[in-house]
Amino acid sequence: MFLTRKAEFSASHICAHPEWSEERNRAVYGANANPHGHGHNYVLEVTLEGEPDPVTGMVFDLRELKEILNQEVIDPMDHRFLNREVPPFDQVVPTTENLAIEIWRRVDERLRALPREQTAAKLANVRLYETADLFVDYGGPQCG
Amino acid sequence: MRLTARYRFSASHRLATPALSAEENRRIYGKCNNPYGHGHDYVLEVSVEGPVGPDGLLVSREQLDTLIAKNVLARIDHKDLNTDVAGFAGRVTTTENLAAVIRAQLLDNWTLAPRLAGLRISETPRNTFSWESSR
């Protein structure tokens, strides 16, 4: 069974590779490379997969998932300038693809740190909407 | 990594097949068989899959938008599917067949590095048709 929890955050960013010329960055990223940045209202959907616990009937405690998303994503990223305030985006271009990969890394690390008797649920998908009409899905490093 | 982008187009059509009698056409297609046609605001979702490049992108948004604009929107937006759009070849302009026409057009003209992974077309917010590429 899959469980999906949604969260929203707003942040600004610049998509530009620090080692590339302004011309090359503009060719690759277009207006996303504008030097003073711009922002999005990101919508995040995190999906966990697991069997419902026979006693609680839950795949995962939604309050705990909310807390993990708050600590790993919302608190550090909401109303922040990703390039300047949220590592590793001082080094890594904060495209929506790279943001999804980083969110997977952070959430997956928290889930793996939980004692096995507490949950067998695993992270299955990170969907990140940059706008209502554009989103990425990331299923973890093994999915490329 | 999979990226999905959403596009919109409006088109008219009429569902009718010469293989059936006028009465059978009315019975099968109902209002969609009305003689002067009708239209929809279609929503198309295009999904691509592949690895993320050193630029942090799976696909250039500009290249994807250009490909869809040229191969889908320019051919279909504000057109009549029955009379203006090539590719139906006598097939009824159902959204199932529209999805197949769009899929064939995209696959024949695909120039992007990531593969076309799926299409999803909503004829109205209540009717959606989707296709997933087999790996």
Stretch A133-141: mean pLDDT: 97
Instruction: Tell me how long chain B is.
Output: 135
Return contacts of B38-41, CB within 8 angstroms, 24+ apart.
B38/B12, B38/B13, B38/B14, B39/B10, B39/B11, B39/B12, B39/B13, B40/B10, B40/B11, B40/B13, B40/B123, B40/B124, B41/B8, B41/B9, B41/B10
* Kind plus residue range of the DSSP H or E element containing A128: strand A122-131
User: What are the residue boundaries of the structural domains of chain B, listed by start?
Assistant: 2-132
Residue B37 structure tokens: 């046609």
Give the C-alpha separation, B97 to B91, whole Å: 7
Residue B2 with chain A: CB contacts under 8 Å: 136-139
Peptide bond into A88 cis (omega under 30): yes
Residues in chain B predicted with pLDDT less than 70, given as ranges, are none
Residue B67 structure tokens: 């490909």
pLDDT tops 90 at residue A120: no
Residue of A nearest to B51 (CA): A144
Give the C-alpha separation, A33 to A25, whole Å: 6
- pLDDT value at residue A5: 97
User: Which 8-state DSSP code applies to residue A60?
Assistant: S
Radius of gyration of chain A (CA): 17
**What residues have CB less than 8 Å from B55, skipping those under 6 apart?**
A17, A28, A29, A93, A95
- B23 assigned to active site: no
Residue A120 structure tokens: 């067998």
**What predicted TM-score, i.e. pTM, was given to this entire model?**
0.92
- pLDDT value at residue B24: 97
- Give which of A25, A137, A142 to mutate to test B binding, by max B Cβ within 10 Å: A137
Model confidence band, residue A4 (pLDDT cutoffs 50, 70, 90): very high
Which CATH fold would you assign to the domain B2-132?
A: Tetrahydropterin Synthase; Chain A (3.30.479)
Of residues A142 and B95, more confidence is placed in: B95
Cβ proximity of A97 and B58 under 8 Å: yes
Contact assignment for A17 to B52 by CB distance below 8 Å: no
Chain A interface residues (partner B, CB cutoff 8 A): 15, 17, 28-30, 92-98, 100-101, 132-139, 143-144
Give the C-alpha separation, B132 to A45, whole Å: 21
Count Cβ atoms below 10 Å from residue B87 Cβ, excluding itself. 16
Q: Which of B13, B23, B24, B32 is catalytic?
A: B32
- pLDDT value at residue A24: 93
Is residue A58 packed enough to be buried (19+ CB in 10 Å), middle (13-18) or exposed (0-12)? middle
Placement of tokens 């969260």 in the chain:
A7
- B96 assigned to active site: no
pLDDT digits (tens, 9 = 90+) for A62-93: 999 999 999 999 999 999 999 999 999 999 99
Residue of A nearest to B114 (CA): A144
Helix A96-113 × helix A62-69 angle, to 10°: 130
Stretch A93-112: mean pLDDT: 97
Domains of chain A: 2-143 (3.30.479.10)
pLDDT digits (tens, 9 = 90+) for A10-56: 999 999 998 899 999 999 999 999 989 999 999 999 999 999 998 88
- pLDDT value at residue A144: 59
